[in-house]
Structure 1
Amino acid sequence: MTVRNRQVCNFTITSDRWAAGKVGGRVVEALRGWGYRTDEEAVTSVCQLLVEAAVADEGKRISVHVADQDAMALVVVLSHRPDPAPYDDVLARIAATAVTSSCGTDAAPDGRRVWALLDTRIKTTTKAQL
C-alpha cells in the first residue's frame, strides 16, 4: 500500500488490551491538528474496532497509519503477524459506523491490514432521521 502527497501520521504501539484506547485519541488528535472537525466519538469507535481486529492476530505490536484527502481520512492498522486470525464480523461493524465511507481487510506479508476510509465532516441528525 502506497500513500503519497498527503498529510500523514504513523506510529507503532504494543499489541495489548490497552491499545484500542490509545489509538483513538491519537487519531482524533491528528485530525484536529490537520484542521478537521469530526464526530470524534465515531472516529474513536472505528479506531477501536480496527485495533481490536489487529490485536486479535496476537502479534507483539501494531502499526497505525493515518492519511487525509478532501475531508476524508484513511486509517490503516497492521497486525505484524504473518498468519492472521480468521475473518470475523469486524467489517460489518466498521461499515455500520456513521463516519465510515468504506472499509476492508487484506493479508500482507507482514500481517493483516484492516482499514477504514472515514468522512471527517460532522454529520447532524434531523427529525426525519429519528
Structure 2
Amino acid sequence: MTSPEAKGPKVPPSYPPRTPPPQKKPVEPPRPQPATKSADGMPVRTRPRMVVRNRRTAAHPFRADAWAPAKAVRQVLETVRGWGYPALDEEDLASAVRLLVTSAVADGGKRLSVHLGDQDRKVLVAVLSHTTGAPDHIVLGTVALLATVDSVGTDTGEDGRRMWAVLDGEPRRRPVRHAAAVSG
C-alpha cells in the first residue's frame, strides 16, 4: 500500500495561501514619558497639568484651521452669556479669544482647544495648541492692552503650548473728567 503523497506527481494549489488582512489602524508607538533626570543627573521639573476645580468650566475643541477663530469667538460668547456676566465687555472677550486662537492656529498643529473657567466675577480663557510653538509676546502684549484683561501668560510643555487671559467681569470705575467752565 502506498501513502497518499506518493499517488501522483505533486501539483501546486491553484489558489494563493491565505494571508492575514492588513491592520485597519497602524499600531501607535507608546507615548514618550517625561524624563525624571537630565543628562547631568539633575531632577527635571515637569509642568503641572492645568486643573480648574470648584467653578464653572467649559471646553471647546476645534480643528486648527482658518475658521477656528470665528467659531471659537461664537461659542465662547454663547457660553459666557449663559453664565450671566452682564457687565463683561464682550468686545474685549471676543478680541482676546480671536487673538489667542489665531496664534494657536499659527503653531501648525491639527487641533486646538479653548477652555473657560470663572471665579470671583472673572473669566479665564485658556487656549491649548496641542503642539509646541514659540511664545508670541506680540499677541500677549496686544491681549494685555485690552481694557478688561487682568493678566495674560503662556507656557509650553509636552502637551503643547498654553496661552491664557483673565478678564474682569465687573465694570471698572473710570475717573470722571469734568469740563472746566470757560468764562468769556
In the superposition, the TM-score normalised over structure 2's length comes to: 0.65
Give the % identical residues.
47
**Are residues 1:8 and 2:71 paired?**
no
Question: CA 1:92–1:86 in structure 2 vs 1: closer, same or farther (change >3 Å)?
Answer: closer
Unaligned stretches of 5+ residues in structure 2: 1-49, 178-184
2:109 is aligned, of 26, 38, 59, to 59
Is residue 94 of structure 2 the alignment partner of residue 44 of structure 1? Answer: yes
Structure number with bigger Rg:
2
Q: 1:86 to 1:42 in 2, by over 3 A?
A: closer
- The answer for the alignment partner of 1:100 in structure 2 is 149
C-alpha displacement at 1:28, in angstroms? 1.4
Which has the larger share of strand?
Answer: 1
Cα displacement string for residues 86-125 of structure 1 (whole angstroms, at most 9, x for unaligned residues): 5341111010001100000000211100100011224576
> Where do 4+ consecutive residues of structure 1 move more than 6 Å?
none
The alignment partner of 1:89 has SS state of: helix
- Give the number of the structure whose residues are more often helix, by fraction: 1
Deviation digits for residues 8-34 of structure 1 (CA, Å, limit 9, x no counterpart)? 110100111111111112111111111
More relative contact order in 1 or in 2 (CA 8 Å, sep 6+)?
1
Letter in 2 for 1:102: S
Q: Which sections of structure 1, spanning at least 5 residues, go unmatched?
A: none
Give the CA RMSD over aligned residues.
1.6
